[in-house]
Amino acid sequence: DTVAPDAPTVDPVKAGDTEVTGKGEPGSTITVKFPDGKEGTTTVDKDGNWTVKVPDGTTIKPGDELEVTATDEAGNKSDVTKVKVPDTDKDTVAPDAPTVNPVQPGDTMVTGKGEPGSTITVKFPDGKEGTATVDKDGNWTVKVPDGTMIKEGDKLIVTATDEAGNTSEPTEVIVKGMKDNGKTDMNDNMKDMNGMDDMDNMNDMPGMKDDMKASKDMNNKGKEMKELPETGNESTNAPLFGSLIAAFGSLFLLGRRRKEDEEK
């Protein structure tokens, strides 16, 4: 047999590993040469797997290069497989997209949460950017750049970049107006205050027709008293009119309260 075996394959090697593994021709001998000149050998099993123990006193370091060969039973040697140990075990996982608290027109700060230690970048509609580092509790605050005014309808784009340089998916935030954020609209309040201007609405409310009828009866009684002949006694019209005014005021307040209850 004069045919050399295929060059062995080698699994990724990391700094500090104590074994080197891979695949090769069953029955062949694998030789791993380390940077310090030492070697380790093993025989490939029937399934094509092999494992070489790192020699005592040898430490695999970042940047090391290992040379691996396979020699079959006839003495034929394969080509060399070279394996480079990565300089660092680089983090390639991007952080989660940051969360952003609601932003309102005129705000001077943008806040939220993200991966501790990562850098938050907020891109504003005018092209300017603001950055901040997420604290150990996961909170961050970015100051709105000088000359930039946040307006209703603006879109902010927020990303997080970890210490390894991996950047998250962007989080987009639309700036909403005061009403959209649960603040009270003055026009709505005025509308509520004027809601009882139309007396026809009062007639449509449960129980209000009876109340209005009672008020009308009181008015008729007042009118009858006015038409009685003079007897020389003092007129009682003034107290009566005061009572009527108070009654109408009570009806108005009752109608307003019932409307508010219905709206709730």
Note the pLDDT tens digit of each residue in 92-108. Answer: 789 999 999 999 999 99
CA atoms within 13 A on the CB side of 87: 0
Instruction: For 83, list phi and psi in degrees, rounded to 5.
Output: -125, 125
Instruction: For 133, list phi and psi in degrees, rounded to 5.
Output: -100, 135
Confidence of residue 251 (pLDDT cuts 50, 70, 90): low
pLDDT-wise least confident of 13-27, 61-75, 167-181: 167-181
- Residue 213 pLDDT: 53
E strands, 44-203, in order: 49-53, 65-71, 81-84, 99-100, 109-113, 119-123, 129-133, 139-143, 155-161, 171-174
- Walk me through the domains of the chain, giving residue ranges and CATH numbers: 9-85 (2.60.40.10), 99-175 (2.60.40.10)
DSSP state of 87: S
Q: Decide if pLDDT at 164 tops 60.
A: yes
Q: Decide if pLDDT at 82 tops 90.
A: yes
Q: Decide if pLDDT at 216 tops 60.
A: no
